[in-house]
Amino acid sequence: MATERTSLFIFFGGTGDLAYRKLYPSMFNLYKKGTLREHFGVIGTSREKLTDQQFQEKVFKSLGVAKTDKEAQKFASHFVYEAHDVTDKAHYQVLKNRADELDKQYKLNGNRIFYLSLAPSFFGTVAGFLKTEGLTDTDGFNRVVIEKPFGRDYDSAHQLNDALSKSFDEKQIFRIDHYLGKEMIQNIEAVRFGNTIVESLWNNRYIDNIQVTLSEKLGVEERASYYDNSGALRDMVQNHIMQIVSLLAMEQPVSFTDVDIRAEKVKALRSLRVYNVAEASTNFVRGQYGAGDSQRAYRDEDNVPHDSNNDTFVAGKLLFDNYRWSGTPFYIRTGKMLADKFTRVDVVFKKPLIDIFSFPQNHNAPLEANVLTMYIEPHAGFSLRLNAKTNGQGFQTEPIDLDYFVDAKDSKATPEPYERLIHDVMKGDGTNFSSWQEVSYAWRFVDQIRKVWDLQQPQFPNYTPGSMGPAAADELIQRDHRQWVYRLNK
């Protein structure tokens, strides 16, 4: 049985899509495992008028269990509801009284987690009122969880951070990036720092390039009002991709603690080259999907303006100006409505300096590069491509793959990212959350690309649904005499 954790949770935006779809089911998983037991209470809030019982019924329904499930009923009985407009200062007193009641009822020691699952424009307001109206005046811990997006550029992120910092210290702020809650993303550190054969080769002497692909099969769906103001660059690159890249690029931390890991990630991001106009134009390409067989073009999706120039695809080349990575590019790409849904990292090693098997009489195909692939999702695993002798007479070589995949049973038992991250918040472990410095360096990099794009008129649409993006994404890497490891029709 897991160690029981004690806390009150207040979910702002407690009737929203994220809360019902991800947050409550993840908390129920923690309840089933014993991390949450007797000593927890939950207040859901939004403007909707609901009784405690109505809210409990909705929470119960979100768990997707049988009506008779006693464990789920007991879990849902810890939830209460307060209708509350987050801009209404007076109402925070009502919320405070309810919080104090639950604190006594469940013996919560004044521990409070404020989860802001709301439109980002409210983050600063809520944080301010939590402090001024005394909800944080307790003897226990007070932590605030912030959903994405954290700003829409460096300036707005900075303002938001200033607003939060008036009420909470950096160690009390947990900025969610759900990719950091994924099993295989956490495995990047295990593979790098747990294996001499990996880490000793993990530099520009042996690695030719690293490729990070976050490919999505679905389009914008019902989220156009958010997505059309964000685009793939802000939605995926600024946060998820920059986090993955910093884990791949960082030096070994002094210890495996949030402070030391974050320090190394920040150091890596500081050495990421921030592009000037010419570099941004050359090293980044954007795309927008057109119509496919049975698929509307992005510009014809619901709530998307017909002349939208929003990016639904990004590919780019990142360069780190430091001793470890100078000369070894990181190529990244992500997009909606691509060939398939998957996330992977391909680490392409340099070929042997001399190919002794390639002599005229041998007719051997040239040696291929070794590639370490980390499959993040949907199947979790690794693959290492080596060159080996082809079985039989003569001396030919061929690439072979050493594969390891997490089996179906273990994969089913893998905690959902939100389950893991909520658990970390209860423990006070910030390792898998984005620090302000990480966020700020990521925005500084992304802002430069955005600024250049804002000055140029794109030729959209430029890729078809089911492809791997625009031709320019292939040209970007081919220009460097390389190619994407994952590509269609190879």
In residues, how long is the chain?
490
Nearer to ligand NDP, 18 or 477 (CB): 18
Candidate list 84, 178, 240, 423, residue with the active-site label? 240
Distance CA 54, CA 270 (A): 49
Nearer to ligand NDP, 120 or 253 (CB): 120
216 binds ligand BG6 (CB under 6 A): yes
Token pair listed for 240: 């998820």
Distance CA 128, CA 131 (A): 5
Name which of residues 120 to 179 contact ligand BG6 (CB under 6 A): 148
Nearer to ligand NDP, 227 or 484 (CB): 227
235 binds ligand BG6 (CB under 6 A): yes
CB of 233 to ligand BG6, least distance (A): 12
* CA nearest neighbour of 38 among 75, 1, 69, 73: 75
311 binds ligand BG6 (CB under 6 A): no
Nearer to ligand NDP, 28 or 325 (CB): 28
Residue 13 binds: one of ligand NDP, ligand BG6, none (C-beta under 5 to 8 A by kind)? ligand NDP
Residue 272 binds: one of ligand BG6, ligand NDP, none (C-beta under 5 to 8 A by kind)? none
- Active site annotation includes 240: yes
Give how many residues touch ligand BG6 by CB under 6 A: 3
Nearer to ligand NDP, 14 or 219 (CB): 14
Binding site for ligand NDP (CB under 6 A): 13-19, 46-48, 84-87, 117-120, 147-148
3-state secondary structure 205-240: CCEEEEEEEEECCCCCCCCHHHHCCCHHHHHHHHHH
Distance CA 455, CA 309 (A): 12
C-alpha to C-alpha distances, 315 to 194, 236, 282, 311, 444, nearest whole angstrom: 30, 11, 11, 11, 18
438 binds ligand BG6 (CB under 6 A): no
CB of 162 to ligand BG6, least distance (A): 24
Query: Around Cβ 93, how many Cβ atoms within 10 Å?
Result: 12
Residue with structure tokens 């109505």? 54
Token pair listed for 350: 């340099």
CB of 221 to ligand NDP, least distance (A): 10
Give residue number: closest CB to ligand BG6: 235
Residue 385 binds: one of ligand BG6, ligand NDP, none (C-beta under 5 to 8 A by kind)? none
C-alpha to C-alpha distances, 2 to 32, 76, 143, 458, nearest whole angstrom: 10, 20, 21, 53
Distance CA 212, CA 444 (A): 20
- Please report, as ranges, the residues that interact with ligand BG6 according to CB under 6 A: 148, 216, 235
Q: What is the set of active-site residues?
A: 240
